């Protein structure tokens, strides 16, 4: 599958688009005024320990303290074990992607040692950010530091060699493991990355030397600075994309910023000389994302409803707890057999759902409501198609079988904020609910509020109501009789005035 990386870089932001067969499949955005901190290594100070939750808060110099779960603590380091004894459980199919973030404890608490026995308030520790701050939450942090290179991820706190789960050939896995074992330093472990398939020993030597030197410098710096302090800052989005996305299937990288283009060439000449000739400077008249049709796809990816070619559609609703995807036949009515119509719509929806999850970067718990199928073979066909389509997804997923209600429960590793969270803010009108009270409902709320004032024995003699222009028209034209009746019943004077600055769903009452 041929791929291209398209980069739009300016003073405000960096946008990286990964295209496969000329279709946008993944989008990464980094605002320069609000650069992420995932992958950064800090020397921090433990400020608070919560034994009841088995978590600690660590000041790393950011606006909010970092959140450290007991399972993310390097127990061997805290207990002062020899580097050769520092072994943690890392699945053989695990690959740590620096461009991604974890949404759950990086490691479960297998050691069963309480956090209060591992840390003390005021203690200084080295940690790495695993997840950016989100909303009111501080960054998710871990003391298991990982330093990514092109072919390897160095894990100085472990003593194990693992291979990416995306390398499926067992013979190749074993070959790569043996190569890295020969190069391995006495302390530390490695994860062999997907990009290393087919590489020889000489291709790993540079990574091993560079990553060990980086860790040595980092440790040296930590001994000479006070906490909190930044010890290591991960590469910016452009260089991370070159390092993490530039595999053998990438035909070219096009970038529209001349300064960044030259920097990319320098970076590649040092670390990735074999890809330097695939980097080109885009000099077209139209903006680069317009030229490749990416801008249109981004706007479409923010829509709630996505139409299928057959006339059916899927709707995507994101809540705090989960994401719900609903499949509907829409305009598609089929020919004769309803089961065939439903199966065709569900199978078409499978491809679009996987594409949208990847493009929108939707993670966490996902519930897909397929159209009900009566035949078991139809359910099996849809389930198999979903599993097959998800193989192209770089994020790890877990799927359960279709339930009797036609629902599929699945999880997708949350790698960063979703596209809508990155590009959008909650609506000022609906406050993120997706709907607001109707003008008629607002009018009735106002009338009931006036009635409460009028019915009070100590009530006022006049009431002034400030409303949005649209509500004013409705009150004056359709509810004037109700207002007149209340004036007569309660002996109050009611005045309605316009305030164009008011939210349509809000109003102000002044009683004298």
- pTM metric for this prediction: 0.70
Identify the pLDDT of residue 356: 92
Asked if the bond preceding 228 is cis, omega within 30° of 0, the reply is yes
Q: Label residue 206 by pLDDT band (50, 70, 90).
A: confident
Give the helix ranges, DSSP H, for 104-232.
170-183, 201-224
60 and 139 co-located in one domain:
yes
pLDDT of residue 90: 41
Residue-level pLDDT at 86 = 46
pLDDT in tens, 454-465: 887 776 778 899
Report which DSSP code applies to 391. Answer: G
Position 362 in a domain: yes
Which tokens hold the place of 384? 């198999």
Q: What is 76-96 written as a DSSP string?
A: HHHTT--GGG------TT---
Range of the domain at 279: 3-34+238-296
**Quick one: 242 and 210 in the same domain?**
no
Q: What percent of the chain has pLDDT over 70?
A: 90
pLDDT at 102: 35
Question: Among the three residues 210, 234, 258, which one is the final residue of a domain in this structure?
Answer: 234
Place of tokens 């949005």: 468
Does 65 share its domain with 159?
A: yes
Check residue 324 and give its pLDDT.
Answer: 94
Which CATH number is 505's domain given?
Answer: 3.40.1260.20
Question: For residue 210, is it left (φ>0), alpha (ψ between -120 and 50) or beta?
Answer: alpha
Q: Look at the block and give the residue holding tokens 């089961």.
A: 339
**Mean pLDDT score of the chain:** 83
Instruction: Tell me: do 469 and 384 sit in the same domain.
Output: no
State the CATH number of the domain containing residue 91.
Answer: 2.40.50.140
Residue 325 has pLDDT above 90, yes or no: yes
Domain endpoint, select from 296, 319, 341:
296
Does residue 215 lie within any of the structural domains? yes
Is residue 186 in some structural domain?
yes
> Per-residue pLDDT for 198 more than 90?
no
Cα–chain-centroid distance for residue 202?
36
**Domain CATH number, residue 327:** 3.40.630
Q: What is the DSSP string of 392-461?
A: G-SS-EEEPPP-TTSEEEEEE---S--HHHHH----TTTTTSS----HHHHHHHHHHHHHHHHHSTT--S
- Is residue 109's pLDDT more than 60? no
pLDDT at 95 exceeding the cut of 60: no
Based on the domain organization, do 268 and 309 belong to the same domain? no
**CATH (domain of 264):** 3.30.420.60
Q: 242 and 230 in one domain?
A: no
Give me the number of domains the chain comprises.
Answer: 4
Q: What's the mean pLDDT in 56-80?
A: 83
Q: To which residue do tokens 């877990």 refer? A: 398
Containing H/E element for 316?
Answer: strand 313-318
Provide the pLDDT for residue 85: 47
Grade residue 111 by pLDDT with cuts at 50, 70 and 90: low
**Are 68 and 171 part of one and the same domain?**
yes
The answer to whether residues 71 and 216 belong to one domain is yes
Alpha-carbon span 402 to 269, nearest angstrom? 50
Q: Are 139 and 37 in contact (CB under 8 A)?
A: yes
Answer yes or no: do 342 and 459 share one domain. Answer: no
Query: Do 419 and 443 fall into the same domain?
Result: no
Which residue shows structure tokens 């001349």? 258
Please say which residue of 247, 262, 296 terminates a domain. Answer: 296
Do 178 and 265 reside in the same domain of the chain? no
Domain assignment of residue 320, yes or no: yes
Helix/strand/coil for 286: coil
pLDDT on residue 233: 84
Q: Does 56 fall in a domain? A: yes
Extract the tokens encoding 256: 């529209």
Closest by Cα among 307, 342, 309, 313 to 327: 313
In this prediction, residue 83 has a pLDDT band, given cuts at 50, 70 and 90, of very low
Q: Looking at the structure, tell me whether residues 181 and 71 fall in a common domain.
A: yes
Whether residue 429 lies inside any domain: the answer is no
- Strands 305-307 and 23-31, by their bridges, are unpaired
pLDDT, one tens digit per residue, over 413-436 is 876 778 888 888 777 777 777 778
Separation of alpha carbons 419 and 25, rounded Å: 12
- Residue 486 in any domain: the answer is yes
Asked whether residue 209 is domain-assigned, the answer is yes
Highest mean pLDDT, choosing among 4-18, 307-321, 401-415: 4-18
Q: Are 345 and 360 in contact (CB under 8 A)?
A: no
Phi-psi region of 391 (alpha: psi -120 to 50; beta: other; left: phi over 0): alpha
Listed in sequence order, the residues at least 6 apart from 393 whose beta carbon sits closer than 8 Å to its beta carbon are: 354, 357, 358, 412
């Amino acid at each position: 599958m041929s791929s291209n990386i398209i980069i739009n870089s300016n003073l405000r932001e960096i946008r990286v688009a990964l295209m496969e067969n000329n279709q946008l499949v993944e989008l990464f955005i980094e605002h320069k005024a609000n650069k992420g901190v995932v992958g950064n290594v800090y020397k921090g100070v433990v400020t608070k320990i919560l034994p009841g939750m088995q978590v600690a808060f660590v000041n790393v110099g950011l606006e909010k303290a970092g959140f450290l779960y007991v399972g993310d603590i390097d127990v061997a380091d805290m207990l002062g074990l020899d580097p050769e004894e520092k072994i943690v459980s890392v699945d053989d199919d695990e690959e740590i992607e620096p461009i991604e973030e974890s949404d759950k404890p990086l490691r479960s608490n297998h050691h069963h040692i309480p956090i209060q026995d591992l840390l003390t308030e005021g203690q200084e520790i080295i940690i790495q950010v695993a997840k950016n701050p989100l909303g009111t939450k501080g960054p998710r942090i871990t003391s298991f530091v990982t330093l990514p290179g092109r072919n390897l991820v160095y894990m100085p706190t472990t003593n194990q060699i693992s291979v990416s789960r995306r390398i499926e050939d067992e013979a190749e896995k074993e070959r790569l493991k043996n190569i890295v074992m020969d190069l391995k330093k006495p302390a530390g472990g490695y994860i062999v990355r997907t990009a290393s398939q087919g590489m020889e020993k000489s291709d790993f030597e540079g990574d091993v030397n560079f990553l060990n030197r980086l860790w040595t410098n980092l440790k040296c710096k930590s001994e000479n600075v006070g906490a909190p302090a930044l010890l290591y800052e991960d590469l910016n989005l452009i260089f991370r994309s070159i390092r993490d996305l530039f595999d053998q299937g990438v035909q070219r990288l096009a970038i529209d910023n001349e300064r960044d283009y030259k920097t990319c060439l320098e970076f590649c000449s040092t670390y990735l000389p074999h890809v330097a000739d695939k980097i080109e400077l885009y000099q077209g008249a139209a903006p680069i994302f317009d030229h490749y049709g990416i801008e249109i796809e981004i706007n479409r990816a923010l829509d709630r409803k996505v139409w299928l070619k057959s006339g059916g559609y899927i709707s995507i609703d994101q809540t705090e707890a989960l994401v719900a995807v609903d499949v509907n036949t829409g305009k598609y009515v089929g020919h004769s057999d309803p089961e065939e119509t439903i199966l065709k719509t569900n199978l078409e929806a499978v491809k679009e759902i996987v594409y949208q999850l990847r493009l929108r970067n939707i993670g966490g718990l996902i519930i897909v409501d397929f159209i009900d199928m009566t035949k078991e073979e139809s359910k099996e066909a849809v389930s198999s198609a979903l599993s097959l389509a998800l193989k192209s997804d770089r994020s790890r997923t877990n799927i359960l079988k279709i339930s009797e209600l036609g629902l599929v429960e699945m999880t997708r590793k949350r790698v960063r904020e979703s596209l809508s969270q990155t590009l959008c803010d909650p609506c000022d009108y609906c406050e993120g609910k997706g709907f607001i009270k109707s003008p008629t409902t607002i009018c009735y709320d106002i009338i009931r509020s006036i009635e409460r004032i009028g019915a009070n024995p100590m009530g006022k003699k006049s009431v002034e109501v400030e409303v949005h222009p649209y509500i004013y028209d409705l009150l004056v034209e359709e509810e004037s009789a109700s207002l007149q009746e209340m004036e007569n019943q309660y002996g109050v004077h009611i005045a309605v005035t316009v305030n164009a600055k008011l939210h349509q769903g809000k109003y102000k009452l002044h009683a004298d």
